[in-house]
Structures are given as structure tokens and as C-alpha cells.
Structure 1
Amino acid sequence: MKPVFFGEGNDKIFGVYHNPEKSVPNPKRVLICSPIAHEYMKSYRIIRILADRLSQCGNYVLRFDWAGHGDSYGTFNNCNFKLWGKNIGCALEYFLSEADDSPLYIVGFRVGASILLKQSPFILHHHEIVLCDPVLDGSFWINLIHFIHRDIFSGNLPDNSYSTNELIGFRYSLELLNDIRFFNINTLNVNKKYDLICSEFERLKNAPFFLNQTRLFKSVNVTNDPDIWGIPELFDRVLLNSQSISSIVSLLTGNSK
């Protein structure tokens, strides 16, 4: 496990590069795109566990902090999909220069999956994409975090707080709110199918997208994970175990342990 910085000029992205811990016949390169904002913090530990398990199975792995998160440059209130899309490009450039020419998979979580799906057709066409509990309808996600925010801070907020862009401790720019709000996977020009891993709760929330799932997904793995993203009482619960992680490891390596 090696901490790294990459990117242009002073705009450095912080990442962690995991070398394979053993030699296998067909290793893979796996780039992980984390959730954003409070979900990034909630899932940080489980993302590391995923990277560790994939490297233990003989794969190269790179995980990174989005701009405005962790040890990367920038502030959250100046971020948007375009900027984070450039982060993915920088991460890919660094990863491709470090690892061998093994097949490259990109795993996107939550809004990280939405950002990934907005990238150039070249990236999406030439690399395998795995979506984990993805945000398929951004307007639904915006409504969800408004609901969680109001539930958590009910009775402790000034009267004008609902008109601000601060949600669960993160101040969103209007541009970012619109990037998320207007994201809908059905509006994208999908020219390939993706592997999908999601909980039963997420499948039910996104039921309309599953009516025509064969157009979007080449495989769908539904787990029994609890509703870890949508329950206000669990908003600050750190994820330490997840069937989704085992499903990703199994999909990429054939080994769920």
C-alpha cells in the first residue's frame, strides 16, 4: 500500500496504490470511485477493505480522494461533475503508467458511479464498469439527503436553513446540485452494459430502472445489505461490513473470501 499524489500543477489528487500481494495468472487493475460528501466519509473504511481484499487476490488497485475531500486539493463548495471527471482522468493516467497492461475495471459507488457514467464514451467503452449502489436518478438522491438533513437537525436549525445549500455538513454549489439533480441514467446514450451490484432496498428505490434492466446491465447482483444510505439514524454509521464488497471481489476475482 503506497500513498501517492498525482495531477497537474498544484491541483494534486491524493490516492492510495495497492500492489498485488500475490502473483496470479490473470491480474486485473481496479480503479475505485468513492461516494461523495457524507457518504464518502461513511464508506471510507469499507473502500479500504475492498482495496485490500482485491490486492490480496493478486490485483492492482488505486483508490483516491475526490477534489474537496480528504487530502486532495480544493474545497467541496467549488466542486462539480466536470472537475471530478478530470479527477478520474488523472487517476486513470497515473494508474495506467504504474500498473501493467492487465484489463482495467472501474468501480463506482453512489454518486461516484454517476460521475463515472458522465465520462467520455472512450473511457466507458474501453474499460469494464461496475456500479455499486449507484445513484441512477440524481433528483431522488437530492430529495433523500434533504430528508436526512431535516430529520437529523429538526428543531435545531434557523428558520432560513432549508433555503441554504448546506446539507449534512457539506455546502453544495448550485452547479453541483444541478449536476446531481439532472442526472438520470435513462437520459444517457448507453452503448454498452454494466455490471450492477446493489442492495434489495436500492433495487426497490430504483424499481423503474429495472423494468428494462437488460438495456442497461449485463449482470445484476442484489444483496441483503440493510438500507445503509437512506435511514437518518444510520447517516453517521461507519460501514465495516457489506455483502456488496464480497460481491465485487467475487465478480472480479471469482473469490468471495
Structure 2
Amino acid sequence: MVPFYFGAPDTQLFGVYYPPAGAGLHQDGVLISAPVAHEHIRTHMAIRQLALALSAAGRHVLKFDYYGVGDSAGKSAEGSMAQWHRDLVTASHELTDISGARRLSVVGIRLGASLAVGAAGDLLGLRELVLWDPVVDGDTYLDDLRRAGGVASPDHGDEEILGFPFSQEMIASIGAVNLLVHERPLPGSVHLALSEERPEYDRFKEALVAAGNTVDTTFVPEPAGWDKYDGHDEVLVANAMVQAIGEQL
């Protein structure tokens, strides 16, 4: 496990590289695209477990924090979907540079899954996407967060949602997320890893198939409680989901 900073000096990103366990040449890299805000905190342990499992299976793994998230540079309210798209592409190049991996898989969680879909065409060597409970519609996602934890609106115009400041630019960019519109197939295959059944997931799969994608679905009945909040950031225990994703890659 190697923690380090990478990227442009003014938008430094924090990452942790997990080299493949054992000897020999390994050609597969896995980039983990994490959620943001309170979901980033909730999934920290699950993502670490996933990274360790994939490393033990012989993959090069990189998990990282988006700009304005976690230990990366920037303030929480300075993020946006456009910035995070660039971060994801930067992280994919970094993983290739440090590992030499020729094939890339991306595991995206929640909004990180939405970002992976949007950036797929810019990720060289991409062979598959694994999408864990993706945010299909940005406005619905924001409404769910607001209902879960209430909203405060400071004088400077940002919204505070579940204890995290969301700038108007961030809100607008997240609200514009719509995974039901696809003009062409995504590169590589698509795996949906779902913890519950939702109509929007069915519509998302239908839209992907209609665009010419190969899609399979793994349902793991291990409710994550994304739309619930009890006043603190409860650690998400997702052992079954982590195992299922490891088996898909």
C-alpha cells in the first residue's frame, strides 16, 4: 500500500496504490471511483476492503479522492462534475504510469459510478465498468440527500447538505446527471452491482442495452441505506457486495 499525491500542483489528488500480491507480471489495473460528501466517508472501509481483495487477486489498484474531497486539495464546495471528470482521467493515467497495466477496469460507487460512465470514453484501455448503485438522476439524488438530512443555506449562497457545503455550481452539475441518455455504446462491458431493486436501475440497464452495450446485473440484497441519515456518518459494512464485485473482475 503506497499513499501519495499526484496531478497538477494546484489540484493535487490523494491516492493509495495497492500493488498486486505475489510475483509475476500483471496487466490488469483497477481504478476505484469513490462517492463524494458523506457517502465518501461512509464507504471508506468498504473501499479499502475492496482494494485489498483486488490486490490479493493480482490486480494493480488505485483508490483516490476527488478534488475537494477527503485528503485531496481544494475545499468541499469547490468540486464539480467537470472537475471530477478531469480527476478521473488523471487518475487513470497515473495508474497506468505507476503500474504499467495495459487493461483498465473501473469500479464506481454512487456518484463515482456516474462519473465513470461519463468519463468512459476518455479512459484509455478501458475494458469494463462495475457500477455499484449508480446515481442515475442527479436531481433525484440531491432531493434524497436533502430529505435525509435537511438543508441549511448560509449567506454566501452555498447549501449545506448533511454537513457538507454544496456550491451552486456543484449542485447544478450534479443535477444535470442523467444516465438514461446514450448516443453510442460505452467502451468495454458494463456490470451493475445493485444492493436493492429500483425502477431507475431497470431504466438505466434498458438504456445501456438500447445503445449497444453488453450489461449484466448482480443483485446483492445488502441494503446500503443511501437515503437514510441518523445524524452521523455510519460506516458502511458491505462484505457481500465487496465479494461480489471482486468476483466480477
TM-score by length of 2: 0.87
Residue aligned with 1:200, SS: coil
User: Which residue is equivalent to 2:180?
Assistant: 186
Q: Which stretch of the first structure deviates more once superposed, 115-124 or 7-16?
A: 115-124
The change in CA–CA distance for 1:43 and 1:120 in structure 2 (over 3 A counts) is closer
| 1:42 partnered with 2:39 | no
Q: Which stretch of the first structure deviates more once superposed, 237-246 or 30-39?
A: 237-246
User: Residue 169 of structure 1 is aligned with which of 144, 163, 170?
Assistant: 163
User: Residue 216 of structure 2 is aligned with which of 193, 200, 219?
Assistant: 219
| 1:228 partnered with 2:210 | no
User: Which residue is equivalent to 2:246?
Assistant: 249
Partner Cα distance (1:219, 1:25) in 2: 29
CA displacement at 1:125 relative to structure 2: 7.6
Which letter maps to 2:45?
R
CA displacement at 1:3 relative to structure 2: 0.6
1:107–1:132 CA contact under 8 A, matched in 2: yes
User: Which residue is equivalent to 1:129?
Assistant: 129
Residue aligned with 1:119, SS: helix
User: Which residue is equivalent to 2:94?
Assistant: 94
CA displacement at 1:50 relative to structure 2: 0.4
User: Which residue is equivalent to 1:255?
Assistant: none
CA displacement at 1:234 relative to structure 2: 8.3
| 1:199 partnered with 2:202 | no
1:24–1:58 CA contact under 8 A, matched in 2: no
CA displacement at 1:72 relative to structure 2: 0.7
Among all aligned residue pairs of Structure 1 and Structure 2, give the percentage whose two residues are the same amino acid. 28
Residue aligned with 1:186, SS: coil
Which letter maps to 2:79?
C
CA displacement at 1:123 relative to structure 2: 2.0
Q: After the TM superposition, which parts of structure 1 deviate over 4 Å for at least 4 consecutive aligned residues? A: 24-27, 210-213
Residue aligned with 2:43, SS: helix
Residue aligned with 1:104, SS: strand
TM-score by length of 1: 0.85
